[in-house]
Chain A
Amino acid sequence: MRLNSLLLSLVPAALASSAFAFDLQAIRVGRAETVSHGVIEHAVVLIEDGRIVAIGPDLPIERGISVVDRPEWTVMPGLVLPYSRLGLDGRAGAEFTPEVSPSPEILPRAEEYEEVLTFGITTIGLYPPGNGVPGQAVAIRPKGETLEEMRIKEGAYLKVYFRADARSKKTVKDAWAKVDEHDEKVTKAKEKWTKDQKGKGAKTEEKKDDAKPEEKKEEKKDEKAVDSKAKEFVPPAADPKVKPFLRVRDGKMLPLVSISAAADWAHWLDAIGERKFDFALRVVMQRELDIYEVHEEIVKRKCMLVMEPELSYTTSTMRQRNLPAEFANAGNKVVLIPRGEGLEAHETWRAAVGEMVKNGMKREDALKSMTVHGAALMGLDKDYGTLEKGKVANLLFLNGDPLEPGTKVVAVMLDGAFVHGEVRQ
């Protein structure tokens, strides 16, 4: 039986509504690059309700389940491109607008999205434009009639543009100063509230007097515990410009800090001071890039890096080096993104990453750099980026090794439905 492309295009529209019950679907391919568990030969992927329910070598397929049987295919997770301005053309200056999302800029059904979907890109992180702190990224699936259908997650990461200059450093310092201000406000409000409570409830509070100092410490540490204990206390609302930084501080969102030289790194560390929070780095690859000077520190902090798959040179020399590989081999998560903004760069993305492998990057890291690491940057790695039980069934089918330049996309599955390619069942 053959599904033609007309029929196919009807499927995803229905996909978005979770009420639509899917039949169990099986796909048998020659090879699966799971990304998480290496390669499975003669793999069978079982899909239900847009998720992978099982994957393994030669799984038995019950009768009645529709099967796509293509032993010449290789399957891998749909590509995750977390750092993109695809289909957006807004401009902005050097603003401090951490609350902004690029969602209003998105035009559903824009050609670019449909196009990159055929390259196997199934998840995109779009960031807001501008320098300074322009806002938070939004994660989308590149298909949908409306923004709601496309949107996966708001607040995927906080974009920060940092340079070694007085202005950048001030922006960062001011932002954290406001967080401190807010914390102080919360603490004061709580103290006041506790006092009021004490005044009302007589005996129970008095008994606890001895334990009071410890209790206060706990309060500061864990707001939620206090909230549940005493239901009425509501901490004062945070300023919308402060909220994103609270999420960063609490480890709920990564800031993605754009730097372009080792000096930027040094001044970034100087600006954040003693504060402890995780952050990722966006490093724009240039012909000469002295970021290797701070390699050890970046490795020590286990920063995730977002880079182009490009080679560079040791400053003032013709000594070529593979910075993405250097960081990946040292254990950092490296996200590689297409070399340019054009569609062609998206089409040759896999091949460009393949070049990194030819220059010393581990194959495993290269595959992760296009899938699960990108998902992790956006806090989506629980659902996206690997072929594992329970993950969203975003699959990319190829006619060979994903990292070879000649390999072509033969089919793409988004949320359990084929959205590209001719699929014979």
Chain B
Amino acid sequence: MKFSTMLARSARTLAVAALAVPAFAQEPAGGEGQPGGAAGADEAKKDEGDWFAVVNGDVYSGTGAVLRGATVLARGGVIRKIGHDLEIPADAKVLDAQGLRIYPGLVALNARGIASRFGGGEFADTFDPYSQNLILALAAGITTVSDSGVAVKLKRREVKGVVVRERYLSTLSYSSAAPRGKSELDAKFEAAARYLRNYRDWEEQKKTNKDLKEPAARGVDSTIRAILENRTMARFNAANRTDLLGIARLAQKYKFRPIIEGALEGWTVADELGRAGAYAVVVPRSRRDKSEELLRDGGSSIENAAILHRSGVQVAIQATSTFIDLGGIAGRDVLHLPIEAGFAVRGGLPEQAAIEGITIVPARILGVEHRVGSIEVGKDCDLILLDGDLLHYQALVQYTVVDGKVVYEKDKELYYAHIRPRPTAQPADAPDARRDKGEEKPADDDKPTESGDEKPAEKPEEAPEEKPKDGAADEG
């Protein structure tokens, strides 16, 4: 049932969801078979490590699917199963997510000062697994960041394996403000494309004519060649309509997918960017006036993300400030990624796309979507458990899980423990402090309904403006 509605969505979501289907398809088998058995189907990871399970939560997998009261089962930090009535090994660490929503850990692009004390790349050697910034980021639901172009997992109390991918992106400049650089880049692309064409021809002809010489790679820019061969992705920083248009045309001509950071006027050329298969990294709250000299559309628009998304551009959302900023006006730094995404929703971006914009899309941009960005079998068990809708301003991260380990628990940490402590934080069988000894225990089913129903009920009442009506994440 759930899956059929899911599959009815747009083609792109379908493609993503298709990946998730095998995971859910295992569901019925999961109840019977050995928990380890199904995990064996996973390619890379071995059958070892500690079991970890999150139970009773509503799993918002990030692929569009929602499984209510489901279990996420992981071993050795990798998700092995998602579904209902799973058999949980006796030695598994179990986290009860009753009344909570489970989302994939957030991916923050260009976040500075979180991964290391000193910065400057080389995070395998400088990562600070005890820093306060790290705890703050985990409290904000961020489990992966990119800093200096390196994708870093926010592990706590561990330094091994934090670097997920090194410098996947290649930064290029293609702006009408620097016409010479622009024409040079044109020439480089032309040369690289010609070389690759010749190379392919040579490979083909080699079969019949062995004496044929390999085409010379001299003078071919290695970065551009790597872009055309899909070994790296081209990243541009562009805001103006003309620059965006130029990049879109360049990408269409040479058939690569550009990543465009900023894309402030992207909404004016969204169709071209969509045709180029572009990724856009936008800051929904950034504003700029239209240039008065121009007649055509320009300047920033709150609808930017929504329009780009409608045109097929994959939209990643970045916060106004890339640092953790504890001064000035609150709510604009990297710790408020979901709030930033909320502004895109205000401008018409579907909620599902907004969530993808802070999870799987940035993961794709960093080339780490096989590890993080959604809750799927075979991916890293990086989860965040919230007491409400991720995009709701009132929702707080209650738990953060990285690699199947609880690395942040709100009620136990310094920063947010005092804000709306969870009533169900107490285990059901623990003695209730509010009652004296000998007093009768109230009906047990009181507690779960309290916590479970309260949050969704109060949301539409308190924040009707924040939530567009099409909460079902329909993209049409």
Contact = CB atoms under 8 A, between A and B. Distances in A.
B159 A270 contact: yes
Contacts of B230: none
B130 A262 contact: yes
A165 B130 contact: no
Contacts of B126: 164-166, 263, 267
A103 B1 CA distance: 81
Contacts of A262: 128-130
A228 interface: no
Contact of B159 (A166, A168, A267, A317): A267
Nearest to B415: A316
Contacts of A316: 132, 414
B122 interface: yes
Interface in B100-142: 116-118, 122, 125-132
B296 interface: no
A237 B421 CA distance: 66
Interface in A158-214: 164-166, 168-169
B117 A263 contact: yes
Contacts of A267: 125-127, 159
A354 to B, nearest CB: 31
A169 B125 contact: yes
A317 B125 contact: no
B130 A263 contact: yes
B438 to A, nearest CB: 38
B148 to A, nearest CB: 13
A267 B123 CA distance: 11
A317 B135 CA distance: 14
B125 A266 contact: no
Contact of A166 (B125, B130, B158): B125
Contact of B132 (A164, A266, A294, A315): A315
A401 interface: no
Interface in A210-238: none
Given A261-B117, A293-B130, A315-B132, A165 B157 contact: no
A290 interface: yes
A261 B125 contact: no
Given A164-B126, A261-B128, A266 B159 contact: yes
A68 B392 CA distance: 81
Contacts, number: 50
What does DSSP make chain B's interface, helix, strand, loop or mixed? loop
Contacts of B127: 164, 263, 267
Contacts of B420: none
Nearest to B122: A166
Contacts of B157: 266, 293
B160 interface: yes
A179 to B, nearest CB: 21
A4 to B, nearest CB: 58
Contacts of B116: 164
Name the residue among B122, B125, B126, B131 with the largest chain A CB count within 10 angstroms.
B125
Contacts of A261: 117, 128, 130
Nearest to A268: B159
Interface string A127-169: 0000000000000000000000000000000000000111011
A267 B126 CA distance: 8
Interface in A297-335: 315-317
A393 B111 CA distance: 61
A266 B130 contact: yes
A294 B129 CA distance: 11
B122 A266 contact: no
A164 B130 contact: no
A165 B132 contact: no
Contacts of B118: 164-165
Nearest to A164: B126
Nearest to B160: A270
Nearest to A265: B130
B131 A263 contact: yes
Nearest to A292: B130
Contacts of A290: 130-131
A164 B414 contact: no
Contacts of B117: 164, 261, 263
B158 A164 contact: no
Nearest to B124: A166
Question: Considering the complex of A and B, which 4 residue pairs feature the smallest CB-CB distances, nearest first?
Answer: A263-B128, A262-B130, A166-B125, A293-B130
25 contacts: A164-B116, A164-B117, A164-B125, A164-B127, A164-B128, A165-B125, A165-B126, A166-B122, A166-B125, A166-B126, A261-B117, A261-B128, A262-B129, A262-B130, A263-B117, A263-B126, A263-B159, A266-B130, A266-B157, A266-B159, A270-B160, A290-B131, A293-B130, A293-B157, A316-B132
